[in-house]
Amino acid sequence: MERALVASALWAMHPAFLDAMLKSGSIEAMMPESLRHLATAMSGGQPQQAKQADPIREGATVIMPITGTLAPRGLYGSTYYDTIADRIRDFAADAKVGAIILAIRSPGGYVWGCAEAGDAIFEARQAKPVVAVADPYCFSAAYWLATQCSAFHCTTSGEVGSVGVRSGHTDMSGFESKIGMKTTLIASSPDKIAGHPYAPLSDEDRAEIQAGVDDANVQFAAAIARGRGIKPGDVAGIHGTGKTFSSRQALANGAIDGISTLREVVAQYNNSRARLSLMRRQAAAVESALSI
């Protein structure tokens, strides 16, 4: 994991999952380099990332798993945004594929790369149905992607939501003083070391981080509005501002289109009539949204 990026990155991820991930890396990140190398050697080397699951074909339907932490290639993650986008484009262009099912089991991940993957999904649904299934949970960045689909389902016991963006700052100065360390940074400009972890966060740097969070959250809401055919101002009331919802509550809110298992959704969209019906409903919804 790129330790320097973790705390200060823009995250669209369920807070409990993110906090657990940050906690697991915080002690190691604060260690001096020599101790970190020793700890890594004693543990048998670097932790292995989960291999991204391959799509599965079932008739004219492709089932594409989206699992674990979502990230741009090169950063720690279980599923890469660029891989999602590339596969979606390939399947959208494949005449033998009638529908694409996104089987989602993800707490979300980095904001970096999410919009681009979401755009690829939204473009693909113009050619054929792209259906998301929360199996059993779909949070934050994963929710961003799911709302770009033609339809969004959740399993009976599933949960969705956690709309929003967060970032943060780690002040290591107190830890360093306790172990007899002091880091001095020398830079060409204060901007080059803004928000560094070796001192408390300044008001100016806090405002800068907040502005980035707010801007990313506006993009998140705009993507949901586009994907679901609603006004940006209605996003918070329907999809929440950080809360998660059971499948039944999400359906009652109008945040999802149905409560179905992955098996049921695959069976449904292996039928050409169902695919055509969804495309027609989608086109009608877009026309209705444009007339508002």
Q: Which residue has the tokens 């929440």?
A: 240
Q: Residue 115 is inside which H or E element, if any?
A: helix 114-124
Largest CA distance in the chain: 70
Residue 34: other Cβ atoms inside 10 A: 8
pLDDT for residue 31: 46
pLDDT for residue 177: 77
pLDDT for residue 163: 98
pLDDT for residue 50: 58
pLDDT for residue 34: 46
Q: What is the mean pLDDT of each run of 10 residues along the chain (292 residues)?
A: 64 91 60 48 50 86 96 91 98 96 97 98 97 98 98 98 91 78 85 80 88 97 97 97 98 98 93 76 69 62
Q: Which tokens go with 176?
A: 């360093």
Burial class (CB in 10 A: 0-12, 13-18, 19+), 158: buried
Phi, psi of 139 (to 5 degrees): -120, 150
Q: Which tokens go with 127?
A: 């050619």
pLDDT for residue 289: 63
Q: Which residues, 6 or more positions from 161, have their beta carbon under 8 angstroms from its beta carbon? A: 139, 143, 239, 240, 242, 243, 244, 245, 250, 255
pLDDT for residue 234: 98
- Taking the model in full, what pTM does it have? 0.85
Q: Which domains does the chain have, with CATH numbers?
A: 1-170+216-272 (3.90.226.10)
pLDDT for residue 23: 75
170 touches 7 (CB < 8 A): yes
